[in-house]
Structure 1
Amino acid sequence: MGTVPLLSDDEAAPEARAVFDEIRATRGTDYVNNFWRALAHDPALMRATWDRLKIVMEPGELDPLVKEMIYVAVSTANGCSYCVHSHTSAAKAKGMTPEQHGELLAVIGMAMQTNGLVTGLGVEVDEAFQA
């Protein structure tokens, strides 16, 4: 259960509606998801989040599919079910195959297991790995 009601276009402030319009135009859809409708309670935070997200997720040295897959991995590690679902959907829309999804989940699971082992054992970082 959410802690704030999801705002419709009519209920949102003009500044939030402007972000809704940009989301629709950028994504080529009429749909604005629940994250943005909840965030619309704070139009300034909504604007800052949307502007930063556009920059981070645009094509760059990492392609958009890889970025979505990283988002899935981090969302899994952080326990954010909403983000796991939304970014898995976005990754599939960007071409993630079922085989890639399976490998992604295997890597996430392996990393979580080895991270837990290393943390529990208190293993010091090898000198050769020091950044």
Structure 2
Amino acid sequence: MYYPIQGTNMTTPRVATVAPVPEESATGKVAEIYADIKRTKGIAFVPNMWRVLATNPDHLELVWTRLKALMHPEAVGRPARLDPRTREIIALAVSATNGCAYCVNSHTAALRKLGMDVETLGEVLAIVGLFNSTNALADGYQIEPDVLPPLE
């Protein structure tokens, strides 16, 4: 989407409510994190999400460190309990439920890169939709659980 630049008759693409930090002007901590993002994710560019978070380098570092530890545990030397595809399916399900178009696109692209076909993607989203519906019904009726998980 294009928006007018205040005080001019020019337009420029708008990425967010703040100006993202371009890769070519990143320095210090931000440049280091950008390089780590590209290396860890195996991509050639820094996605908009990270460039926007870089407007606050400390926040960028906190979010990236957390995401890297959970979504790329192998990169921090931790054995993964969930495989990458399962992690991305969970991320997609939560993103769809929360209505985050940016994240839905990002995690759908990651799943496609991991080999998920469109029929499987449709099945994942059908399950997400089903449980959003049944969760709302159970919550609305305040149904008492009759099956509980084991404590160990």
- TM-score, structure 2 length as denominator? 0.78
Percent sequence identity is: 38
Paired residue for 2:113? 93
Query: Bigger radius of gyration, 1 or 2?
Result: 2
Runs of 4+ off more than 4 Å: none
Q: CA shift at 1:114, angstroms? A: 0.5
Flag structure 2 segments of 5+ consecutive residues without an equivalent.
1-13, 75-79
Between the two proteins, the alignment pairs up a number of residues equal to 130
Pick from 3, 23, 29: which aligns with 1:9? 23
3-state DSSP of counterpart to 1:106: helix
| Aligned pairs (5 A) from 1:118-129 | 118-126=138-146, 128-129=147-148
Contact 1:5–1:38 at 8 Å: present in 2 too?
yes
- TM-score, structure 1 length as denominator? 0.90
Distance 2:149 2:39 in 1: 44
Contact 2:95–2:103 at 8 Å: present in 1 too?
yes
3-state DSSP of counterpart to 1:20: helix
Distance 2:34 2:149 in 1: 44
Paired residue for 1:116? 136
Structure 2 residue 95 is the aligned partner of structure 1 residue 81: no
Contact 1:57–1:64 at 8 Å: present in 2 too?
yes
Distance 1:124 1:80 in 2: 31
Contact 1:13–1:43 at 8 Å: present in 2 too?
no
